[in-house]
Amino acid sequence: MDPISTIAQEVKDELERITDLSALEKFRVKYLGKKGAITNLLRSMGTLNKEERPVFGKRVNDLSKEVEEKLIAKETELKNKARAFQLRLETVDVTLPGRSPNLGHRHPIKQVMEEIETIFLNMGYTVAEGFEVEDDYHNFEALNIPKDHPSRDMQDTFWITDDVLIRTHTSSVQTRIMEKQKPPIRIISPGRVYRCDDDVTHSPMFHQVEGLVIDKDITFGDLKWTLTLFLKELFGEEREVRFRPSYFPFTEPSCEVDVSCFACGGKGCRLCKHTGWIEILGSGLVHPNVLKNVGYDPKELGGFAFGIGIERIAMLRYGIDDIRLFFESDMRFLRQF
């Protein structure tokens, strides 16, 4: 065989065996590079005579062109293969269920508080803010709680100084509001309160919502229908509401308000301690002494107030038996609301 045919055969065999781009580059250099076999053939033309030269030249040129074309075809083939392989590696199964982000939500205590706020906002009340750090006067004295009253006991109140404490109830906002706002007053005030108490149903910090209405001609009837409406909104139309005489130093008369038991509907069970009733809030007509303390004339103005414990409502509603669960930030607990 002549050198051209030999090289043509070699090219064919070698190209078939090439499987990657770097081997292909070596192949190109070997045949078409500056010192490549086909380049050398062209150079050797100088040694041929005039008749042989055009024929030889044409054959070498044809071979060179053919090899270049094959190189390009092979390169395309290898690149396509590599790309197909890469795509297979990166395949995304769009039918797989996605990973949804964890959406947060309001804390159950905040949810109950907002529900209560909404009910009263719809009745024309406004939301007022108080102070968590209070003085003796607003938490006790102005509310007709004298110095020797048992609720001032060291075991109940967290004192900061002789005169400063963290409030034991949201009733401390009553006087603060009356001091700076002219009647008629219709407010609720949600917030944190503190008592030196800690067991499965008592937490040293918990939440209350206070309500206060001051106007001319407010009667116990206004208190009754307002709270009945509120409790039926909150717990459902089917709940019975009962007003039970009670005592608070800052209201007169005072009452506690019960609703028929969530669990047994009034028949009597463990939750309601077999009474059929669950105590929900404290309330009463604002005591004349409280009105006098802010300079109101009890003959002219009157009102009612109430206070409701939020944790208790949430515990009853969701059947939670340990108040501490609300404050442990355990996602397994919180996710359920």
Q: Choose, by CB under 6 A, the member of 190, 302, 303, 307 that binds ligand PHE.
A: 307
Kindly tell me which of 284 and 302 has the beta carbon lying closer to ligand PHE: 284
Kindly tell me which of 60 and 210 has the beta carbon lying closer to ligand PHE: 210
Kindly tell me which of 153 and 237 has the beta carbon lying closer to ligand PHE: 153
Kindly tell me which of 171 and 226 has the beta carbon lying closer to ligand PHE: 171
Q: Choose, by CB under 6 A, the member of 248, 277, 296, 326 that binds ligand PHE.
A: 248
Q: Which residues pair with 292 in a beta bridge?
A: none
Report whether 165 contacts 158 (CB < 8 A). yes
Q: Choose, by CB under 6 A, the member of 144, 157, 171, 203 that binds ligand PHE.
A: 171
Report whether 36 contacts 25 (CB < 8 A). no
* 251 is a site residue for ligand PHE (CB under 6 A): yes
Q: Which residues pair with 159 in a beta bridge?
A: 165
* 169 is a site residue for ligand PHE (CB under 6 A): yes
Q: What is the DSSP pairing of strand 133-135 with strand 251-260? A: unpaired
Q: Which residue is nearest to ligand PHE (CB)?
A: 307
Give the count of residues interacting with ligand PHE (CB under 6 A).
10
Q: How far is the CB of 172 from ligand PHE (least distance, A)?
A: 9
Nearest 10 degrees: Cα torsion 173, 176, 177, 179: 160
Q: Choose, by CB under 6 A, the member of 258, 306, 311, 326 that binds ligand PHE.
A: 306
Q: Choose, by CB under 6 A, the member of 36, 284, 302, 303 that binds ligand PHE.
A: 284
What does the alpha-carbon distance between residue 49 and residue 46 come to, in Å, rounded to a whole number? 8
Interface with ligand PHE by CB under 6 A: which range of 67-75, 159-167, 290-298, 304-312? 304-312
Tokens (6 digits) for 19: 């499987």
Q: Pattern 88-107, binding to ligand PHE, x per CB under 6 A?
A: --------------------
Interface with ligand PHE by CB under 6 A: which range of 41-49, 260-268, 280-288, 323-331? 280-288
Kindly tell me which of 165 and 305 has the beta carbon lying closer to ligand PHE: 305
Tokens (6 digits) for 328: 């442990």
Kindly tell me which of 209 and 272 has the beta carbon lying closer to ligand PHE: 209
Q: Choose, by CB under 6 A, the member of 188, 283, 310, 312 that binds ligand PHE.
A: 283
Kindly tell me which of 104 and 150 has the beta carbon lying closer to ligand PHE: 150
Backbone angles phi, psi at 207, to 5 degrees: -120, 145
What does the alpha-carbon distance between residue 317 and residue 337 come to, in Å, rounded to a whole number? 11
What does the alpha-carbon distance between residue 281 and residue 231 come to, in Å, rounded to a whole number? 10
Handedness of CA 330, 318, 248, 118 (dihedral sign): positive
What does the alpha-carbon distance between residue 111 and residue 234 come to, in Å, rounded to a whole number? 12
Q: Choose, by CB under 6 A, the member of 282, 290, 312, 314 that binds ligand PHE.
A: 282
Which is nearest to 176 in space by CA: 131, 111, 125, 206? 131
Q: Which residues pair with 166 in a beta bridge?
A: 133, 158
* 305 is a site residue for ligand PHE (CB under 6 A): yes
Kindly tell me which of 18 and 136 has the beta carbon lying closer to ligand PHE: 136
What does the alpha-carbon distance between residue 196 and residue 167 come to, in Å, rounded to a whole number? 11
Kindly tell me which of 27 and 189 has the beta carbon lying closer to ligand PHE: 189
What does the alpha-carbon distance between residue 218 and residue 132 come to, in Å, rounded to a whole number? 29
What does the alpha-carbon distance between residue 321 and residue 299 come to, in Å, rounded to a whole number? 46
Positions that interact with ligand PHE (CB under 6 A): 169, 171, 248, 251, 282-284, 305-307
